[in-house]
Amino acid sequence: MIDLKQLQNNFDDVSSRLQRKGVDTELIHAIQEKSRALKAAKAAFEKAQAAQNEMSKLFGQYKREGKDVGELKAKVDANKLRINELIEKQRDAEEALRHTVMGVPNLPDDEVPDGSDESDNVELCKVLTPRTFTFTPKEHWELAEQNGWIDFERGVKIAKSRFAVVCDEGARLERALINFMLDFNRQRGFTEVSVPAIVNRTALEGTGQLPKFEEDLYKIEDEPLYLIPTAEVPLTNLFQDEILPAETLPVKMTGYTSCFRKEAGSAGRDTRGMIRQHQFHKVELVALARPDESDALFDEMVACASDLLKALELPHRLVTLCTGDLGFSAAKTVDLEVWLPGQQCYREISSISNTRDFQARRAKIRYKEGKKNTLVHTLNGSSLAVGRTMVAIMENFQDASGAIAIPQVLQPYM
């Protein structure tokens, strides 16, 4: 959630930064007006409460002095009713402001490039040189069918489109990737955590998926519970409404989960193959840090994901997302895009984001230093999406016959 005090004190600056991310000026002014209304409601309540305290003192004084308290009692009773009305008015103002603000995205960092969509993202560097093939490389769905690794038809039969069944050596490769990624991340100092695949509404509000992206979530019928869209949600919310000792920071976690998304806004995109599934596996990196340490930790997480791809011998590039492609909760993001020779293009395989204190303010995650409580910075990123990593291995390690070699670092796991 954006800092309302910052909005009140630096309205023009916050407004211009939100507009860079595509937020309508009318919505920004609506937040400002609701913020003012809440401030006025609080002032009115505090004034009435102060008057009540003064009259209560007079009431005792009158009784001690034997004065008639009838008129004063009537004023006290009337003011009590007014205080109750003002409490309700303040609650209504708080809820109106909260409802509006919860749908407002994070402010982009100043260095984030302006742009309207992914075509305006800025390439930072390329890592490893794509292999030169002496034959026309096949796309992963052809290789999957040929090798009997992925059964798309049976996935549709037991569920619906965009579900797949991974079989035989494909299933072993999938498991090997998960174990390798978790071990790799543990060696980099990330503690392995296993979390539920179902979370409550409060958790999703804390990390920013709700209320804005409800149509993309799978909800449990008749319960306020949802299937997770990413392990970022349960891992970050482990510390929801907690105050951490400063010496425990940074907290660095990694976890493997299945993830579930309706992909409501992706009609017609990547309908073939494993790129965009309703259920997919992912190993996630999540960190909580002091504000002055979060930039260094962000770079560390980007390097961790890139080094993982290098270990798998997969060519990739690093891309800074522009304002138009930046996620709802992110202040800045670097995507890692892996080279797919079958498609002859780079495709996203990991996304590392620093949300600053945006999620921490929503989830009430703080740390104590001395007597002061301060919001942490939260960071998250795909260590790698497992399905897309399988796709990249299949396309990059194929031979002319369609057989697929296994990267050297994965061979001990298989």
Sign of the alpha-carbon dihedral angle for 151, 154, 156, 159: negative
Is residue 405 a contact partner of residue 172, using CB atoms and an 8 Å limit? Answer: no
> In 275-344, which ranges are E strands?
279-289, 316-320, 332-340
Do β-strands 279-289 and 225-227 pair in parallel, antiparallel, or remain unpaired? unpaired
Helical packing angle, 386-396 and 140-147, nearest 10°: 80
Whether 269 is a known active-site residue: answer no
Sign of the alpha-carbon dihedral angle for 215, 220, 223, 226: negative
Report phi then psi at 346, rounded to 5: -90, 135
What's the token pair of residue 274?
């494993």
Sign of the alpha-carbon dihedral angle for 381, 384, 386, 392: positive
What's the token pair of residue 16?
């211009």
Whether 351 is a known active-site residue: answer yes
CA distance 192 to 204: 21
The single residue of 131, 175, 276, 347 carrying the catalytic annotation is: 276
Is residue 365 a contact partner of residue 239, using CB atoms and an 8 Å limit? Answer: yes
Cis-peptide into 250, omega within 30 deg? yes
Whether 131 is a known active-site residue: answer no
DSSP-derived 3-state class of residue 261: coil
> In 86-214, which ranges are E strands?
122-127, 150-151, 165-166, 191-192, 198-200
CB atoms within 10 A of CB 208: 26
Amino acid at 286: V
The single residue of 351, 353, 382, 383 carrying the catalytic annotation is: 351
Whether 395 is a known active-site residue: answer no
Report phi then psi at 47, rounded to 5: -65, -45
The single residue of 17, 162, 261, 362 carrying the catalytic annotation is: 261
DSSP-derived 3-state class of residue 410: helix
CA distance 243 to 259: 28
CA distance 95 to 102: 10
Whether 119 is a known active-site residue: answer no
Residues annotated catalytic, as ranges: 261, 276, 348, 351, 388
